[in-house]
Amino acid sequence: MRILFLALFYVGLAVSTFAQQDAQFSYYMFNSLYYNPAFAGAENVTKISLLHRSQWAFYQSDFNDGSAPMSQVFSLSSPIFKIRGGFGGHIVHDQLGAQNNLEVQGSFAYHLGIKQSKISIGVRAGFFSQSLDWDMYRYIDPNDEVLAGQTGRESQVRPDMAAGIFFLNEKYYAGVSFNHLLRSTFDFGIAELRNSLTNHMYITAGHYYNISNAARLHSSALLQTDFNQYNVTLGLIMTVMDRNLEKMWIGTTLRQSEDVGLLLGYHFLKDKSLRAGYSFGYVIKDQNAKKPTSHEFMLIYELPAVGTPDKKQQQTPRFRH
């Protein structure tokens, strides 16, 4: 696992930029279903998550305000013990100035227990919608015949698919997934604007280390690539425990192409089933083109799944807090 982290880190440093089509989050380690459909139900609990990210907060362009990127993701994941599997779904809204992306996806995974570990194989399908607000664009040539007469908002909807595999036990986890397998194309009726969703690969990995009965470290890594460029995010979180239940956490992330972040979080309710997190990000590259800070908020609620896990399935106590 240590070799994997070093490999991800040095590959990331070798590349300066990444053509990112999908929304990105600092709390990637708590948002695994978004990156990998094989994570559906793998935690053996039903989990509802909500994340909001305001990137480069308060950024305003020279001719229009309110154009800073904002992203939200709502997800649900639950096991289906009778068929040794799990299901999940998520809705993502990604606002990028004049362009808005909306995706609605459903995931299914099959879980295979191997001794004290679990391997999960998953697929997902849904739709991806792109919308353009033509009134927010400023053209170099206002008399361009291709764009003449384009006003208002226009949307197109296309099918989308992904597949992945995920391995986990009490101390380690790792997964790989492939997104936008259909490479759906958007053109808004203009051939010159034709563009496709690019295939993306996500590699995630993490390790849990118990410092003592009162504290635990969670190291993680996320590699994203469109097979032309790469981006690596590293994370380290220290969690304070209270009678074997997680109570609060503090951590940091480093996204090699952009920023460094501070993560803070707290668990609520008697069984600690509700957690809230906040992330503060500070831009460390190309500040002249961005506002320096980003903010991210997270809510997660967990409840016991209906039914009883199969004996061959591996329970993962580290996930149930």
If you average pLDDT over residues 216-244, what whole number do you get? 93
What distance lies between CA 271 and its chain's CA centroid? 26
Closest by Cα among 263, 268, 273 to 296: 263
Predicted pLDDT at 10: 36
Contacts of 246 (CB under 8 A, 6+ apart): 216, 239, 240, 267, 272, 275, 321
Contact in structure between 128 and 101 (CB atoms under 8 Å): yes
Q: Is the pLDDT of residue 178 over 90?
A: yes
Distances (CA, A) of 254 to 17, 174, 175, 222: 14, 19, 20, 10
Q: How far apart, in whole angstroms, are the C-alpha atoms of residue 319 and residue 114?
A: 18
Between 158 and 188, where is the model more confident? Answer: 158
For the chain, the average pLDDT equals: 84
Q: How far, CA to CA in Å, does 38 sit from each of 77, 78, 110, 229?
A: 11, 12, 8, 24
How confident is residue 24, by pLDDT bands cut at 50, 70 and 90? confident
- Indicate the domain borders of the chain: 2-140+150-304
d(Cα 21, Cα 57) in Å, to the nearest integer? 19
From 258, 195, 229, select the one nearest 19 (Cα to Cα): 229
Question: Is the model's pLDDT at 159 over the cut of 90?
Answer: yes
Q: What percent of the chain has pLDDT over 70?
A: 80
**Spatial distance between the Cα atoms of 312 and 56, rounded to a whole number of angstroms:** 47
Query: Considering only CA atoms, which of 87, 22, 34 is closest in space to residue 298?
Result: 34
Among 20-34, 72-86, 127-141, 148-162, which is the least confidently predicted range?
Answer: 127-141
pLDDT in tens, 69-121: 889 999 999 999 999 999 999 999 998 878 899 999 999 999 999 888 999 99
Q: Which of 83, 44, 51, 124 is nearest to 302 (CA)?
A: 44
Among the ranges given (16-30, 64-78, 300-314), the one the predictor scored with the smallest mean pLDDT = 300-314
The CATH topology of domain 2-140+150-304 is: Porin (2.40.160)
Among 128-142, 188-202, 268-282, 300-314, the least confident range = 300-314
Name the pLDDT band for 177 (thresholds 50, 70, 90): very high
CA distance 150 to 189: 11
The reported pLDDT for the residue numbered 7 is: 38
pLDDT exceeds 80 at position 142:
no
Q: Flag whether pLDDT at 271 surpasses 50.
A: yes
